[in-house]
Every structure is written in C-alpha cells, then in structure tokens.
Amino acid sequence: MVRQERRREARRPAEASKRAGEGRAKIAFYALFLIACAILARFYVVQVRQGPMLAERAYEQRLTTVHYPAHRGTIYDRDGTPLARSLPSQSIYATTGDVSDPAMTARSLLRVLPGAHYGDLVAALRTKAAYIQIAHKVTHDQAEAIVKLGLPGIAVVAEPTGMRFVPAGRLASTVIGFTGFDENGLAGIEYSYDSILRGTPGRMVRETDEFGRAIPFERPHVLLAARPGHSLVLTLDSYLQYNVENVLRATVAKWHAESGSAIVMDPWTGEVLALANVPDYDVRSYDRFSPDAQRDRAVADAYEPGSVFKLVTAAAALDSGKVTTTDRFASLDRLPIGGYVINNAEDGFLAGSGSSETLGDIITYSHNVGAAEVGLRIGKATLFEALRRFGFGSSTEIGLPGENPGIVPELADWSATTLPTIAFGQGISTTPLAIARAYCAIANGGLLLRPRIVSAIVAPDGSTTYRYGAEIERRATSARTAAILRGFLRAVVLRGTGNPTARVPGYTTAGKTGTAQIVENGVYSAGDYNASFVGFIPAETPRFVILVKVAKPRGAIYGGVVAAPAFAQIAKIAMMHAGVLPAATRLVRAGSVSKQRI
C-alpha cells in the first residue's frame, strides 16, 4: 500500500505538467484560431468588400498623365524637296538582370554602335539599376541590326518623339538649323518657326512605377490626341544653294580667308533663293561643330560695308536734288577733315589732282574722297534720312534668329568725321542681308521689300494654310534715281573696279565692289579687310541680286579681285538654271532656226 501510494504521488507532478501543457496548447490553438479568423475576416473585408475600391485606388496611384509630342512638320525647298523631316525613332535599352555576359554583350553592341565605348558599355551593363538606356534614337538600320543580334536583356524600344532627318547634311545648314533630342528647335528655321513646326502635344494616361517608368503590358489611354505640326516651304532653291555654297567655299579656300557669306535674292519679290555661309556644319552631327561654324553670318554679323555703301550716298544726293549727274567734284586722293585724313584706295583707280569728276565717276572708280565730298555737300540730315529709308539700323524681319540690326549713330551723335566717313561706308555697320536688300531696291526701281525665307505654311493634310507674298515696306528711292544708279553700277563692270572680273560672257551685269577695314575691339585691325561685291544680272531688267562677302582674305584684299569673280560664277549659274542662255548661244540657235526655215 505504501508503495502504491508513493507511486501515485510520483505520477501526480507529471500528470499536472501534462495537463498544464495541454492547457497551453489549447490556449495557443484558440489564440491562433482567433488570429486566423481575424486575418480571414480582414482578408474578406479587403479582398471582397473593399477589394474593388482598393484596386481602383491602387490603379489611380499608378496612373500618370503624360504629354506626348506631335509629329514635327517637314521643311521643304521651293520645289518641294524635303530639307528636314522627322522619321520614327528607336532607342536601345537593357534589362541588366537578364544580361548574362556583359563583356560579350558590349562587344556585340560595339559592332552596331561604333560611337560607343567598350568600357562605358560594360560598366553600364553591370550597374545595379534594373533598366538602363544604352543608346538614344539610333538609326533604323542600327535598330534592325540590334534586333537581329538577339542579345539577352537588350531591347529596341520605340521613342515617343521622332528623329530629325536632314538628307543633304550641310546644305543650307546655317539657315535650317537643328533640333534637340526631343525635337525642339534650337537654331535656324527650326528655332524661329518651332511653334509652327512642332504642332500641339497630346495627353495620355499611362500606368507607371514609382520611378515613372511604364509598366509592361499597360494600355495607355489617350485623353487628347496630338495635332501634327505644320510644314514650311522655303524660298530656297536647292540647286542654287548647292552651287552657291560650292563657289563660296572655293573662294574662301583660294584666298585663305577666315569666312564668307553669299546671298542670291529675287529683287521683285524679296525671296532669298540662296544664303550660304562658310564655315558651315553638318546638321546631322551639329554637336561636333563649334558655335562659330553654326552662326548665320549673313544675318548675324554686322560689319562696316565699305564702298558698296556709296550707292546709298548717291541715292541720297540725287533724291535731294542737291547733286545732279553733271555736277563735278574736285579730283583728290586725300581729304583732311576733323584731324583725320580720308584717302582713296591704292587700287589703280586713283583720282589724281588738278581735275574734276562726276558722281558717276566717283561710283565707277570707287573714290572715297569723292564720296566724302558728296556727303559734305548734301549734309548729315539728308544722308541720315536716306539710311532710314533703305532700312539700315533696323531688322529686316526675315524671320531668322539672331538677326543683327546693325548700328546707325543717332543724328545728335554725329561728329565732324561721321558724315564724310559714312558717305563711303565707314562709321556704320550693317549685315550682308541688309546690303542685298538695299540693292534689290535699286534693281526693282526703288521699292524696299521685306526679305523672305519662308514661302508658305502647309497643313498636315497638304493644304496651304498661308502663302507669303511680296511685301513692300516703303519707297527707298525714286524710280528715276534707281535707274541712274543702275547705270552707275553698269559702268563699274564695264570700265571701273569691277572690270573685267564681274563680267559674265553672254550676259550683262552691274554691281559695286567693296573693300572695308575690319573693326575689332573698337579699332581697325591692321591688314584685315572685308572684300565684297554686290550686283545684279541682267543689268537692264535684273533677275537676280547677288552678294558675295569674304572676310580676311590673304594674298589680295580688294572686292574686285576676291569677291567679284565669285559673283560672276554665281550669276552665270543662276541664269543658266533659270533657262536664260548666253547671248552668243541664243544668236547661234536663232541663226540655225532661220536656216532651217529657208
């Protein structure tokens, strides 16, 4: 009995411990059961009762309203040839986690992307970022080559903005300009007419992650469709532009010059048919060229024009009635005035002394002293009014960015030497475009026209939204005076400073030479000149006004030597392109026709 009692007492603690464990297990079970029920209840609330509402809220959090660009308009030349247009673009991206061999992938990509660097590619593919861009807006051929490689983790993705394609590269590059990565205009026509070309962006809703990246397989919803941009038809003639650039480039190279500009205009409409600058650049790789090469010098660079400006002085003198074509001025090669001495250029056409010369002689032989004498006779108010009538000192409003209005001193600021020096083209600054416009007025009978570089605006459907016409600003000089001036310019080519370099066999030409010192940092730079020639063809009824300006030529400095031959080349090309054959050819053909009729 005692033993049984002892065994029972020994089992009691074990049984008590067992019962306690079973109690804790039951408590834990019920506790977990209650927690599970709570979770299930919460799950039911979240997934069933509140599920649709929370899903909608999550969807809204992923939604991002984005603006997407419109298709950019095309830039055409006057004949409808595209000079700049937008093509669909694609970029190369990498999902780094899927790239198994970064080194091999980089080597493969280099075969298609020659501008990339091996080390940069490897480093990019090994980065911790999950998704990276390898190349932005590659060509269509490059994109196809990447796809054919089939590289793991490498994908070609269409870009929302297009890639600007410029077929001719350098042709009219300083006029057309370029766009940035997102097709925003940054220079030239692309910049000044950006609001017309780019159209109206659209709006769409997209699903994105927290970094703003589109979620795969998302379906964008368009809120507002983008409206494509309008296209522009320029006044430029691609054939003329190409040849003018070649002639100018050869001229600058021949004379080891710093730069050059050339302009061809229609004097009856104000249309710019060609506008060239050297140096220029390739629009397709504009970032590799300096700002100096990208500058439109014909519009942006003001300079002292020199003797080509003497026609404005002559116009002022004749219009005022203070000088006639028969009035004579003392023939001098030096004229002391205001502590300075004005000299004629030693170009073989010195005036000599002891005789006299007419206004026509002063223009024909480009005498600085004679022009100064004319200026002193007519007075500063008369010359100043003529400057304003011809548009000097104000923008031509051609519509190209960076236009320089030039500098015409206010009348109250004129010193004793201002009048005689402006009379022969010093002490005043202007642009090649402004000079060409002034000569258009002389060529067309005295009317100052606004230069035009854009001919029409074309809607996306091909219809013409707006067509620009000739715009007469005012009368710069009388028709009678303009006719007299054309006679002076013809004499320049026949027996003056433009003889024989500005002549074109089979055609009649007229024009004026210019040789002007260059001002740098407020003083004249020793030995540096601008050589220029501006004129028109044919002389009787001008069809083209042509200006050629060459900065800092070496080996010769005179406009008749450096610029006039380029004028003659361009003039012949322009007439042949217009279908006007030289006189000798026309006579031969006429004789052949007569013989056939006999």
pLDDT of residue 407 exceeding 50, the answer is yes
Q: Provide the token pair at 566.
A: 């380029």
User: Is pLDDT larger for residue 25 or for residue 586?
Assistant: 25
Half-sphere exposure of 358 (CA within 13 A, CB side): 12
Lowest pLDDT segment from 10-14, 20-24, 152-156, 494-498: 10-14
Q: Is 311 helix (H, G, I), strand (E, B) or coil?
A: helix
Higher per-residue confidence, 137 vs 217: 137
Binned at pLDDT 50, 70 and 90, residue 221 comes out as low
Question: What is the pLDDT, as a whole number, of residue 57?
Answer: 65
Mean pLDDT of 499-522: 95
Beta strands in 69-183 (DSSP E): 75-76, 82-87, 90-95, 131-138, 154-158, 163-165
Cα–Cα distance between 539 and 166 in angstroms, integer?
37
292 contact partners, CB below 8 Å, separation of at least 6: 279
Mean pLDDT computed over every residue of the chain: 88
Distance CA 596, CA 216 (A): 79
For the segment 531-557, the average pLDDT, to the nearest whole number, is 97
What are the pLDDT digits (tens) for 160-215? 777 888 888 899 999 999 998 788 899 999 999 999 999 887 766 666 665 555 55
Q: How confident is the model at residue 20 (pLDDT cuts 50, 70, 90)?
A: low
Confidence of residue 339 (pLDDT cuts 50, 70, 90): confident
Structure-model confidence comparison of residues 391 and 33, the more confident one: 391
Tokens 């007439």, residue?
A: 575
pLDDT at 209: 60
> 237 is written with which tokens?
């003639």
Under 8 Å between Cβ of 218 and 66 = no
Distances (CA, A) of 565 to 279, 339, 444, 588: 20, 37, 24, 26
Mind listing the pLDDT tens digit for each residue in 129-147? 777 888 888 878 888 888 8
> Which pLDDT does position 439 carry in this prediction?
98
Output the pLDDT for position 593: 42
* Residue 333 and residue 369 in contact, taking contact as beta carbons nearer than 8 Å: yes
pLDDT of residue 103: 87
Percentage of the chain lying above the pLDDT 90 cut: 60
At 494 the three-state DSSP class reads: helix
- pLDDT (0 to 100) of residue 458: 97
Residue 90, pLDDT > 60, answer yes
Torsion of CA 487, 490, 496, 502, to 10 degrees: 160
Cα separations in angstroms, 369 against 38, 308, 424: 108, 15, 8
Report pLDDT for 210.
56
In this prediction, residue 589 has a pLDDT band, given cuts at 50, 70 and 90, of: low
Residue 315 pLDDT exceeds 80: yes
Q: How deeply is 478 buried, as exposed, middle or buried, from its count of CB atoms within 10 A (0-12, 13-18, 19+)?
A: middle
Q: How much is the pLDDT for 26? A: 79
Q: What is the pLDDT of residue 340?
A: 86
User: Nearest to residue 118, comparing CAs of 132, 107, 134, 127?
Assistant: 107
Average pLDDT over residues 485-510: 97
Rounded Cα distance, 189 and 85, in Å: 13
Nearest Cα to 374, choosing from 362, 385, 384, 366? 362
Contact between 571 and 546 (Cβ < 8 Å):
yes
Average pLDDT over residues 324-339: 91
Give the CA-trace dihedral at 535, 255, 239, 543, to 10 degrees.
10
**pLDDT beyond 80 at 571:** yes
Per the model's pLDDT, the better-predicted residue between 17 and 285 turns out to be 285
DSSP bridge pairs for 545? 265, 536
Confidence of residue 595 (pLDDT cuts 50, 70, 90): very low
- Check pLDDT > 90 for residue 78: yes
Structure tokens at 515: 């040789």
